[in-house]
Chain A
Amino acid sequence: MISRNSLLGRFGRHYPAVAGITLLAAVTAMALLAPVLFPQGPWRMVGRPQLWPGADPRFPLGTDILGRDLLACLFYGARVSLLIGLSATLAATLVGTMIGAAAGFFGGKVDRWLMGFTEIFQTTPPFVLAVVVVAAFTPSLTSIIIAISLVSWPPLARLVRAQFLQLMPREFVLAGIVMGMSNTRLIVTQLLPNAITPIIVSSSLMIASAILLEAGLAFLGLGDPNAMSWGYMIGVGREVLRTDWYITTIPGLAVLLAVLAINLVGEGLNDALNPRSRNR
């Protein structure tokens, strides 16, 4: 049985988080099942163009301006959104943690230089920088992931640094130093495990903003031309917005629900992992 105060128990009593995880499971299932349910891929013209949802039972969500099945596009879009969201977050978390950890651990000159470097990236508006990076290196999954992680790591670096600054004067760290632990060992075995909670929480929220960034890029025509994504679908639907607005509405709702799900899970994680905010 799950005890009331265990991690799972606390998470489970947080109803919005449970709703979030259910939604997220649905999106993940969409991403995984896309090639099984729609083996012909999302790009094939399968029916009459601009069929409204429900007009033809073969296409429950209708077809777009090129006669592509919107449901299939939606399923394949989930793959792209999750893939980009997860990989960009992973890369940004690694970079942010390394820079923040180095700044907090070594302090002094290293800290000043690294934080100056971070401030440069915090001053440039994230989305504009992402646009420039993808436009400069032609749009592809790799360049999009690089661009999104490039604009996402600075807040995390600041967070990790702040955590490290708090932990550095603590006794267990001092004990480690006296024992002659190497810097790497101190960071990896003593400091990081104690700073991991806020890193997990803000990384989970970062997935959501990465998905929003990707949708924005794809909408501007900066998506991978070989990957069907929700942002691209919104951009396509825009051309017939006045008559067939459902082509735009459906993928937008998908982005909204996916991002909402991740935000809910992130907040649930925060409440479950953060004892101070318990029983609020």
Chain B
Amino acid sequence: MSRNAQDLIRFVLRRLIQSLPILLGIATINFLFVNLAPGDAADVLAGEAGAASPEFMAALRERYGLDQPFYVQFLVYMGKLLTFDLGYSFRFSRPVTELLLGTLGPTLLLMSTAILFACSMGVFLGVLAARCVNRWPDYLISVGALIAYATPVFWLGLMMIVLFSVKLGWLPSSGMQTIGAGYTGWRKIGDVALHLIMPATVLGMYLTAFQVRLIRASMLEIGEQDFVTTARSKGLSEQTIAYRHVLRNAILPMVTMVGLQVGAILGGSVLIETVFAWPGLGRLAYNAVFQRDLNLLLGLLFLCSIMVVVTNILTEVAYRLIDPRIPLK
């Protein structure tokens, strides 16, 4: 194994260990929520069973350790978290971890497509705006970004359904694949891709707006540096200069932006998956809200936080891969 790769692995491990206190903090807050919220799991179960005698409630509390002192419950909770046991969803009658892992895949697919879309769209529009600075394409793009910041994503999703599914009939309005079609192989991939277009575009909208502004600004800033003048004097076309010389130097802030926005994208996916009936974590969250399933919601919050931590570590690794001069902190 090369030295570089070893460094990278050591760095990732160190960062993972450094994030443990944060995850511990989040777990503590989770625990406080469970205990601050009115009613406990025994109330929920008793409500499910209809009327319950005080003896039955006491037995339930004993069985789930709810009669133990506060700190004992806290330690038990933490011990369970270490083995990634996030408790039991009484509404779905399945362990929370199992439910979460079952829906993680579609969400990751949706999020990565949205991020990919936002970055490529951001580069394209940002470069365009910078090359037409203070002319109408630039103004149009700036106004578009301003409106994108102000648009509620879930509403935009609904409006796109009206236009592209109801009126034009081009795109499917819900789900991840055509139910009952039984496609396999490439047909199946194409089918999923078709279902992915609208939710991924809408979910990536904020990030696209951020990236456009960022790329435009860094293109303008870097475009004045000496090496660009050199490239221009060599007779390279503006297209080549923009994409081969300037853009390379604007990639790092782009990666940073993805890291900063990943939490917002996760939050957005709760709304977007609800709108498009995408079978992922977000829709699970909506069902959990609908059924007041607190255990499941807290598990979700914890998993989402882990995803943010992992993404932040990945962005730092990406820095290193993009620019080997950057030291791993």
Partner of A260, one of B26, B146, B264: B146
B268 at the interface (CB under 8 A from A): yes
- CB-CB under 8 A for A120 and B22, given A125-B305, A128-B267, A132-B298: yes
Contact call B270/A124, Cβ cutoff below 8 A = no
Partner of B267, one of A120, A125, A138, A242: A125
A252 at the interface (CB under 8 A from B): yes
B181 at the interface (CB under 8 A from A): no
Partner of A256, one of B22, B147, B292, B300: B147
A135 at the interface (CB under 8 A from B): yes
**In B290-310, which residues have CB < 8 Å from any A CB?**
290, 292, 294, 297-298, 300-301, 304-305, 308-309
Give the nearest-CB partner of B143 in chain A: A16
A88 at the interface (CB under 8 A from B): no
Stretch from A66-74, A188-196, A213-221 at the B interface:
A213-221
Partner of B264, one of A125, A132, A256, A263: A125
Contact with B along A49-62 (1 / 0, CB 8 A): 00000000000000
Q: How many residues of A contact B (CB 8 A)?
A: 44
Interface size class of B (residues with CB under 8 A): 35 or more
B285 at the interface (CB under 8 A from A): yes
Partner of A116, one of B21, B152, B262, B264: B21
- CB-CB under 8 A for A127 and B292, given A219-B271, A252-B158: no
**In B155-204, which residues have CB < 8 Å from any A CB?**
155-156, 158-159, 161-162, 166
Partner of B152, one of A119, A126, A221, A252: A252
Which residues of chain A are within 8 angstroms of B262 by Cβ–Cβ distance? 125
Given contacts A136-B37, A256-B151, A264-B146, list 15 more A-B pairs with CB under 8 A. Answer: A120-B29, A123-B26, A123-B309, A125-B266, A127-B264, A128-B285, A132-B33, A132-B300, A135-B297, A215-B152, A234-B154, A256-B155, A260-B146, A260-B147, A263-B149
A222 at the interface (CB under 8 A from B): yes
Which residues of chain A are within 8 angstroms of B275 by Cβ–Cβ distance? 238
Partner of B271, one of A116, A124, A220, A245: A220
7 smallest A-B Cβ distances: which pairs?
A127-B267, A252-B155, A260-B150, A125-B263, A120-B25, A259-B150, A136-B37
